[in-house]
Structure 1
Amino acid sequence: MSVGIRIVDAPVSRRDDNRAHRYIIDHIKPGQQIRRRIAVTNLSDRRHRVQLYPAAAAVHKDGFAFAPGRTGNELTRWVRLEHDELVLDPDETATVWTEITVAKHATGGEHYGVVWAEISPERDPSKQVRHAARAGVRIYLSVGPGGEPRSDFRIDDLTATRAADGAPMVTAHVKNTGGRALDLTGKLTLSNGPGGAFAGPFNVNAGTVGRGRSTVATTALDPRLPGGAWTARLTLSSGLVTRETTGRITISTPQRDGKPQTALLTLGGLVSVVAALLVAYAYRRRSRAR
């Protein structure tokens, strides 16, 4: 039992903004209205009744957070859906218009919400727990006079480290210096490594960053990468804003049983050399005895 929901098409003014193809994102003055067309698909193998409704959301230090159930906020009072219920056959898709009309005395700033599509099973009186499947389209709506607040961010402190399981990783601190929330995606590439090696690109995990907040962008690397110095290039984007930083990092030698792996390898090599010398010495003594 599952359902899918997506934006059908972004407005002309945001065709080049990849976020606008996934979420409802805009800047609007009090008293004005925007419309978006969303597509809802029944991804299950049976006919289902799909409920559509707006609900509250927020952006805090841990990223974009959905309010429980159908909890509302100021934004959800402005949302009107063409249909609040659909009956869809397996793999059937229907489109629904979403209208957001901002109140004339709306609170300025960025408002967050989500349009949910939910499939709930028929209520069974014998069961106290009922499972539902839902998918949503986020809403980032900036409200205020004048033009849209600028989006921007800064990348600092590019560092190589190791996770608790010993896997190599690269971290960077990202500060949202603009006036809107960010949804960061990006890539990390490595070059000029040991012996001139290069690696990547690797996907970066950064997520949603609220206005004035910071986050740590994390990139998990291939555990087989050798330790040593590398040149790292990190590229992050949110919508039409892209920032890049390059720095020299050092990936430490992986640990094994509390000791550097290279030390174990060196010790192993030394033992092999000693064993070979002992064999050669014994062979020479035997030859002289003959």
Structure 2
Amino acid sequence: MDRRDDTRAHKYIVDHVRPGTTIKRRVLVRNLSEDRRPISVYAAAADVTTEGFVFAPGRTENELSSWIHVDRAEPHLAPDEEIEVLATIEVPEKAEAGERYAVIWAEVAGVEGQTVRNVGRVGVRVYLSVGPGGEPPSGFEIGPLTGGREKDGTPVVTAEVRNTGQRALDLAGELRLTDGPGGLSAGPIKAEASTLALGGTTTVRVILDRRLPDGPWSAKLDLASGWTKRDATGTLSFGTATAAAAASATDRSGQVLTGGLVTSGLVLTLFVIHAYRRRARFREPVPAA
């Protein structure tokens, strides 16, 4: 499946494949430190729980991480040097249907023999759905928007979101307030939530400026996870008591939500720069990035 328009796939490895399929991804590893460093590149286990996307400790392995192999596991990089690492994911012919999670890590460690040895790593998440046919549907519902103030007077907008689809979600978007007192407006203000598991719920909280008047305001919350997009609208205020808006939700999966993507790390930056797929039984050359 072509995911060039899937903003989530620009940040993570997200795909759906049939059993027996091999896919390849190129990631860029860059040394941002001032010293030449050995880099360990490897795959390790992860999971999606009520706490969000959870990284397993160290090099803990799971089924998906055991399917992932990298062609340059121990590169040595000079300051500001970068290389491409090819990650190959080989899905067995007898793999059971379902979504699996892992991380491709790049790791640096302090010098051997130090009393305290610091270890830093940064990674690219992998969300891989396996099964026959097309990709399982993704979907979510946004509950009523609620306005209120924290104990220190900070206004906050909250909304409960439920995953109604068959894939984990990474929700991000924007909140806009219009038609406020004196015609004031505010936003767009960034909104995001932790990774949402299948069937899970989470509360999206958007913190606003303390100087914001109580209202009333017309509010619109846009959220997206890749191609899957929804919005909710309503009227709310930020009085002493919280007030729930009479919200309505809209499916906007056919529209595009634009926004910046940020990848960060201590001394390394990784990001997906190329996608390639083939059936396992074919031996085709990997195209240049």
Normalised by the length of structure 1, the TM-score is 0.81
How far off is 1:163 after superposition? 2.5
Paired letter, 2:211: R
Which residue of 211, 217, 223 maps to 1:224? Answer: 211
- Correspondence 1:68-147 to 2 at 5 A: 68-124=57-113, 127=115, 129-147=116-134
Q: What is the root-mean-square deviation in Å for CA atoms of aligned residues? A: 1.3
- Correspondence 1:194-233 to 2 at 5 A: 194-233=181-220
1:37: which partner in 2?
26
CA deviation string 1:43-92 (max 9, x = no partner):
10110000001000000111101000000100011011011111101111
1:48 corresponds to 2:37? yes
Measured in 1, the distance between the counterparts of 2:150 and 2:42 equals 41
Paired letter, 1:99: T
1:167 corresponds to 2:154? yes
More helix as a share of residues = 1
1:274: which partner in 2?
none
CA deviation string 1:224-282 (max 9, x = no partner):
1011211100000110111111101111159xxxxxxxxxxxxxxxxxxxxxxxxxxxx
**Sequence identity of aligned pairs in percent?**
50
Measured in 1, the distance between the counterparts of 2:94 and 2:66 equals 13
How far off is 1:166 after superposition? 2.4
Paired letter, 1:251: F
How far off is 1:21 after superposition? 1.0
Q: After TM superposition, what 4+ stretches of structure 1 lie above 3 angstroms from structure 2?
A: none
Which residue of 226, 235, 238 maps to 1:239? Answer: 226
Measured in 2, the distance between the counterparts of 1:200 and 1:150 equals 31
2:254: which partner in 1?
none
CA deviation string 1:138-166 (max 9, x = no partner):
00000111110011111012101223432
Checking the alignment, whether the CA contact within 8 Å between 2:144 and 2:232 is kept in structure 1 is no
Gaps of 5+ in 2: 242-289
Aligned residues: 241
Paired letter, 1:23: Y
Checking the alignment, whether the CA contact within 8 Å between 1:185 and 1:207 is kept in structure 2 is no
Larger Rg: 1
How far off is 1:206 after superposition? 1.4
Measured in 1, the distance between the counterparts of 2:91 and 2:33 equals 35
Checking the alignment, whether the CA contact within 8 Å between 1:79 and 1:99 is kept in structure 2 is yes
How far off is 1:207 after superposition? 2.5
1:63: which partner in 2?
52
> Which one has more relative contact order, counting CA pairs under 8 Å at least 6 apart?
2
1:187 corresponds to 2:174? yes
Checking the alignment, whether the CA contact within 8 Å between 2:31 and 2:37 is kept in structure 1 is yes
